[in-house]
A = this chain, B = another copy of it.
Amino acid sequence: MGNTFGRKFKITTFGESHGKAIGVTIDGCPAGLEIDEEFIQSELDRRKPGQSKITTQRKEGDKAEILSGVFEGRSTGTPIAIIIYNKDQKSRDYSHIAEKFRPSHADYTYESKYGIRDYRGGGRSSARETAARVAAGAIAKLMLKEIGIDVQAYVSQVGGLKLDKPYTELDISNAESNMVRCPDDNIANEMIALIDQTRKNQDTIGGVVTGVITGTPVGLGEPVFNRLHADLGKAMLSINAVKGFEYGSGFEGVKMLGSEHNDAFRKVDGVVTTDTNLSGGIQGGISNGQDIYFNVAFKPVATIMKDQDSIDKEGNPTTVSGKGRHDPCVVPRAVPIVEAMAALVIADFYLLNKSSKL
C-alpha cells in the first residue's frame, strides 16, 4: 500500500528481488527536461553489487530501460516508467529460508501481515528495490541541476570509526575515489580494513552516511507537517536498514544552549546568510538558503554467514545461516541511495513551492 513517494514529483516502485523485474513510474516530472540516460545508468552503477571487495560479490547488471514519458530525449510531462530486468536469477534453492524466519529480517513480519511471502532473496523487502529509487533519483538530480541544486553524500562512520570533521572541511567529491566512499583517504583506508576484516569474520557492521544539499533556494518545505526535514527524514528512514536521522546540530545539539545554537542572520553582498548553520539550512521546516546537511544511521546487515538461532513457520526452534554473497557493510552502496532520496524530496518541494504565492 505504501509504494508511492512524493506529491508533485511522485514515484511508485514495484518489484521483488527475484521476480521478473523491478521498476519505477515517475509522475509529475516537468516537461522539457533533457533526460541523460547515461547519467541514470552511472548512478545505478554506483549502487550495483560487486563493485569492490567490500561489497557483495553478486553481479547484477542493473540495466535501466526507459519505457515511456521521454520523447526525442526530453521529458513530455507524462509518466516516465523505468524498468530493470532481474537478469542474474539462477533458479537457486531457497528452501533453506522458505520455512524459516531469519533474525532481524522482514520474513516474519511480511508472513504475518500478508499471510504469504515471496521468500526468494527477501522478495519485496530486499534492498534491491532501492535500485528503482536510484533511477528515479537520477532524474530528480537532472532536474535539480537545472536549478543549481546539488546533492551529495558520503560515508562518515563505519562501526566505531568516525570521520570527525564537519563536511565544510572536506572535499566531498573525493568520496568517489575510494571504495568505501569516505572523502578522507586515511579514514577511508581504516574503514575498508574494518569492513574487510568483518567480512572475513563472517559478520557485518553498521555505519553512517552524511548528506549535503547545496544551492537550495529559500522557501522549500510545507509546514506544519510536511516540513522539509520531516520529509527528508521519512525518505531516509524508508531506506532499508536505517535506524536514525538527524539534521543540522542533530542529537549533539540538545546539549547546547540557545545562545550557542542560534544562527545569527547577516546580509552579505545583498544575500541573507547566517554566521553559523546549526539549523542545517532549515528553519521552521522551510529552507533558508544555507546548506542542508544530515546524518543517516544504518544498522549492521542482518544477513551474516554465521549460524543463528531462530524459529520456523510453526514456531519450532531452528538454525539459520546466510548463504550466497552479501554486503558486510551497507553504507558504501547506500551513498547513491541517500542521494537519490534526498534529490526526490527536494525536487518535490521545489515543484510544490511554485504555488506558495499568488
Contact = CB atoms under 8 A, between A and B. Distances in A.
Contact of A222 (B2, B105, B204): B2
A271 B353 CA distance: 30
A77 interface: yes
Contact of A283 (B67, B105, B114, B287): B105
A78 B124 contact: yes
A101 interface: yes
| Chain A, interface SS category | mixed
A332 interface: no
A312 B98 CA distance: 55
Interface range for A: 35 or more
A190 to B, nearest CB: 14
Interface stretch (A19-27, A40-48, A49-57, A164-172): A19-27
**Residue among A4, A103, A146, A265 facing the most chain B CB atoms (10 A cut-off):** A265
A89 interface: no
Nearest to A207: B254
B308 A264 contact: yes
Contacts of A247: 243-244
A247 B234 CA distance: 13
A227 B218 contact: no
A351 interface: yes
B244 A13 contact: no
Contacts of A115: 31-32, 357
Interface in A229-261: 229-231, 233-235, 237-238, 243-251, 253-261
Given A1-B222, A124-B224, A257-B205, A243 B243 contact: no
A238 B285 contact: yes
A332 to B, nearest CB: 14
Contact of A108 (B261, B272, B316): B272
Given A123-B76, A206-B254, A243-B253, A304 B259 contact: yes
B258 A356 contact: no
Interface string A87-124: 00000000000000101111011101111111000011
A324 interface: no
A68 B12 CA distance: 13
A160 B257 contact: no
A66 B15 CA distance: 10
B117 A71 contact: yes
B79 A13 contact: yes
A104 B254 contact: no
A203 B110 contact: no
Contacts of A76: 16, 114, 116-118, 123-124
Contacts of A25: 3, 12, 14, 25
What are the nearest 4 A-B pairs in CB distance?
A106-B284, A2-B226, A244-B246, A2-B222
Given A4-B27, A14-B79, A109-B286, 11 more contacts: A1-B352, A12-B25, A15-B81, A77-B356, A83-B83, A113-B219, A143-B358, A205-B257, A244-B246, A258-B303, A262-B302
